[in-house]
Amino acid sequence: MYEHDVIVVGAGGAGLRAAIAAHEAGADVAMVTKLHPVRSHTGAAEGGINAALREGDDWELHAYDTMKGSDYLGDAPAIETLAKDAPEDTITLEHWGMPFSREDDGTVSQRPFGGLSFPRTTYAGAETGHHLLHVLYEQVVKRGIQVYDEWFVMNLAVSDEPDPNDRTCHGVVAYDVQSGKIDGFKARNGVIIATGGPGQAFDHTTNAVSCTGDGQAIAYRAGVPLEDMEFVQFHPTTLPSTGVLISEGVRGEGGILYNEKGERFMFEHGYANNDGELASRDVVSRAELTEVNEGRGVEDEYVHLDMRHLGAERILDRLENILHLAEDFEGVDGLVEPMPVKPGQHYEMGGIETDENGKTCIDGLYAAGECACVSVHGANRLGGNALPELVVFGKRAGYHAAGKDLGEAEIETGYTSDVEEETDVDLPVTPGEAGLDPNPEAVATDGSGQALDAEDALERAVETERARTERLIEKDDGVKHADIRAKLQEAMTQNVNVFREEQGLKKALKAIRECRELYQDVYVQDPSRTFNTDLQMTYETRNLIDVAETITLGALVRNEFRGAHWRLENQERDDENWLKHTLISWNAGKPSIWYRPVILEGEDKTYEPKVRSY
Amino acid sequence: MSTQEQQPEPETEPETEPETQESPADPEMSGLASPQQRRLQRKAANLAERERQAAEDESNLEEDTVHLKVFRFDPEVEDKQEPRFDDFHVPFERGMTVLDALIYARDEYDSSLTFRHSCRQAICGSDAFFVNGSQHLGCKTQISELEQPVRVEPLPHQEVVKDLVVDMEHFYEQMHAVEPYMQQEDLPEGELEEMRQSRENREKIKMSTRCIWCAACMSSCNIAAGDNQYLGPAAINKAYRFAMDEREDEEIKEHRLRIIEQEHGVWRCQTQFSCTEVCPKDIPLTEHIQELKREAVKKNLKFW
């Protein structure tokens, strides 16, 4: 058993920043990550960090753009916190040595990005995330923060009160990938989940193979609601054959989208008469797919992104990485020909419900970064707003977990009996745990309703995972996780994509149910305890199933068109009925759906929902 | 998985065309000394040759399968304790990379086949392997450019944990040994005031900041193979990244030079360019090591 004040799960941008903050606040902090920190998917972020740094810009403008971009589903206290903290936190990165692109006077450069009223995206070439990740890891090395790398967190150790709001998180159970050892990590103060998104629920995604929604799934099963999961961002410019991301920076610098007929369709077909290619991501993704669906796509599959007119010098200066990606992964030279692009899953706006200090409804459990939903991004995240979210809310969660006073949060968390519940949804199958077994997945609960003390909770969680692992490895025959994962990805990509309709969503729920049933027969073929990725991926696949189900349930109940979520049956934003967050609680295997109103009241003003046009 | 995603695309352009113009137009290369240019020319020439070869092979490949010979070892599984090669025949798809082929082999044939991988786009640095006798990132290496059978082995000179997974601990220790973090304590006054850095200086360190810690360079280096304490190309490049960054004061630079001129530092390098050859990010590692040698000499002269 290991013991620290604060345990950070995941070592991408949010996790590293949280660990640094907790350390600064005097805590004994350790990171537990299934990868080595520098392998984390923050490194693939390209575009930049939005922060109001310059004359003519201010945090209120950043907050306004973000609220509008969110299609009025972001919570004002979260958005305003992001916009206010981002400048200082960005400059802190500079002080830590981040190699930002520079102006002639030596100050950091900023560029225009979609949905922004001011060019406030601070960047380091088209590889901002890589530099951010490495700079943060350097600071972790400098501080001597303990990193348990290649330890896969299997579950949380949480006490077992019936009401999740009364529960306490005491630590995590993790699996040392190199040795196969399963052990407990006790957290005296708190556990911070920073495990990134669930992109692998889809098969055409910019996300890494490691992005399997682990943190969301374990928090969900421990009783924390997942919020607004139906809002999945499909990035408009990914390479068709691999899903590799082509940064929005290309359009920010002036790149143009053309259909097969050579029409600049964003303008010529009226998708965004003012902002064109720099409209918000959801708008551009739908435009591209509409072009393809109406027969104007290249090869009936994609459109062209052309940056040749920017000139080699500017491209090499600001977008060089894009040339390499297009060459290596699509065989296209961006200097001499347009690049083929199509929408691909990119970002999960929803996630673990937290307040603006990163806290969940379970005492001692925090979340930050893509896995969390504060909510800053609402129905659609603006380009350049993910990286500031990592540093701003990673830092806050780290401080808070270490005991620093950040003031009372304005955002409420956790289910209470006075919330609006969804009672009228027609589900084709029962969601949730298949064949509810006597070993509940989530909490170390024995149903007695008695609070377990920290040691007992941890010990029991460790025993549960050891037994499960043993079962999986000892089982000689059955279904492979890879087959289940492939089935899940196909169902999600077919039915829970950019354009959604009721029948398709129901089909997806049925397929997810089938995946759950297949999973009851899953087995791990590799008998080894050494670096058993077969075992790890089997755990990950289970996490993906739970998270994919929440995405689909949310998409089915939300019968309106808002931000990234489009519904055939109701192609209008419905503010009268839907200015509210969708929350899904696991309830020990019997999910329920409920709602909480969006907070549009900011510090000094109320954001009035307006028609979102670009 | 990404392998299943690839749709048969009738035609765009021969996929082997891409990388030839890798650098001539690249201004960032033009400023560099000639060995780097020569190296890149050689790289381009080799590539052109491989492409001709590949174009010939490709028509056969299209309907064909890829023959992989993959190194297998597991210290605790009886029939894998003795290292061996397993053969996998994977259906070829246009654009297939070594990583795609490995993923297919694992998901379809043998779930115990073990290798690190994550981002699939050459930024996480997890999947450096020894492919047909040299270090490559699996995700960035097209099957169509390789001779068959494609032999995939773990990185040489590192202890094998299992199959293609090597122990990276030593590599990380060397990276940490150069104090890889900004040490400037004296920050500009005033709220939101950044340190200034000229465009030229940012350009100067740019290539060095692209390192993804894949350890291909370290694995290719004969010196590192013989001297386990040698810092190695990646760590020295990391030191370069800070030593050349004008945001750090001169005393810090001198401190950094003292670290890299120690017994197992820059002077061990015999400029064989193997690290530079295999770097998937085209970092001119040997150049950087040479430049640090010059800087170290200059510093020592100053104190005479």
Pairing state between β A365-367 and A182-193? parallel
Q: Is the pLDDT at A436 greater than 90, yes or no?
A: no
Higher pLDDT, B53 or A12: A12
**Which residue segments constitute the domains of chain B, with CATH numbers given?**
15-165 (3.10.20.30), 169-182+201-302 (1.10.1060.10)
Tell if the CB–CB gap between A204 and B5 is shorter than 8 Å.
Answer: yes
Nearest CA in chain A to B11: A299
First to last CA, chain B: 61
Is B190 in the A-facing interface, judged by CB distances under 8 Å? Answer: no
A6 at B interface, C-beta within 8 A? no
Instruction: Give the residue, A544 or B4, on which the prediction is more confident.
Output: A544
Residues of B in contact with A135 (CB under 8 A): 182
Q: Output the average pLDDT for chain B.
A: 86
Residues A452-489: pLDDT tens digits?
688 888 999 999 999 999 999 999 999 999 999 999 99
Q: What is the DSSP letter of B186?
A: -
B102 in A contact zone (CB under 8 Å): no
Give the active site residue among A251, A281, A468, A567.
A281
Whether omega before B149 lies within 30 degrees of 0, making that bond cis, reads yes
Q: Which residues contact A60 (CB under 8 A, 6 or more apart)?
A: A83
Please say if the pLDDT value at position A72 is more than 60: yes
Of A353-367, A396-410, A504-518, B53-67, which range is least confident? B53-67
Å between B293 CA and nearest CA of chain A: 23
Q: Between chains, do A525 and B112 touch, taking CB under 8 Å as contact?
A: yes
pLDDT in tens, A277-323: 999 889 999 999 999 999 999 999 999 999 999 999 999 988 999 99
Cβ <8 Å between A91 and B120: no
Tell me whether A251 touches chain B (CB under 8 Å).
no
The rounded mean pLDDT for chain A is: 95
Plot region of A378 (φ>0 → left; ψ -120 to 50 → alpha; else → beta): left
**ipTM, interface predicted TM-score of the complex:** 0.94
**B210/A130 Cβ within 8 A:** yes
Mind listing the pLDDT tens digit for each residue in B205-260? 999 999 999 999 999 999 999 999 999 999 999 999 999 999 999 999 999 999 99
Q: Could you read off the pLDDT of A552-602 as tens digits, one per residue? A: 999 999 999 999 999 999 999 999 999 999 999 999 999 999 999 999 999
Q: Select from A236, A222, A306, A292 the least CA-distant residue to A260.
A: A292
- Measured CA to CA, the distance from residue A475 to residue A483 in angstroms comes to 17
A559 Cβ partners below 8 Å, 6+ apart? A502, A567, A569, A570, A574
Q: What is the pLDDT of residue B20?
A: 34
pLDDT mean over A347-371: 98
Q: Which residues are CB-contacts of A470 (< 8 A; sequence separation ≥ 6)?
A: none
- What are B97's strand-pairing partners? B142
CA–CA distance, A53 with B69 (Å, rounded to integer): 54
Nearest CA in chain A to B205: A99
Which residues, listed in sequence order, are joined to residue B87 by a DSSP beta bridge? B69
Give all strands of the β-sheet with A121-122 in edge-to-edge order. Answer: A49-50, A121-122, A110-111
What residues does B65 pair with on adjacent strands?
B91
pLDDT of residue A612: 85
The helix/strand/coil state of B138 is: helix
Asked if the model's pLDDT at residue A93 lies above 80, the reply is yes
pLDDT at A448 over 70: no
Chain B residues with CB under 8 Å of A139 CB are 181
Annotation says A281 is catalytic: yes
Q: Looking at residues A367-394, what average pLDDT do you find?
A: 97
All residues of chain A having their beta carbon less than 8 Å from the beta carbon of residue B10 are 299
Walk me through the domains of chain A, giving residue ranges and CATH numbers.
1-231+349-614 (3.50.50.60), 237-341 (3.90.700.10)
Whether residue B1 has pLDDT greater than 50 = no
Give dist(CA A115, CA A233) in Å, integer: 14
Other C-beta atoms lying within 10 Å of the C-beta of residue B293: 19
Is pLDDT of A451 > 80? Answer: no
Nearest to B120 among A100, A242, A524 (CB): A242
Q: What stretches of A429-587 adopt beta strand conformation (E)?
A: 499-500, 566-567, 580-585
> Which one of B77, B80, B111, B167 would you mutate to disrupt binding with A, by most A Cβ within 10 Å of its Cβ?
B111
Which among A102, A141, A531 has CB closest to B176?
A: A141
Query: Does pLDDT of A446 surpass 80?
Result: no
pLDDT, tens digit, 9 for 90 and up, residues A120-174: 999 999 899 999 999 999 999 999 999 999 999 999 999 989 999 999 999 999 9
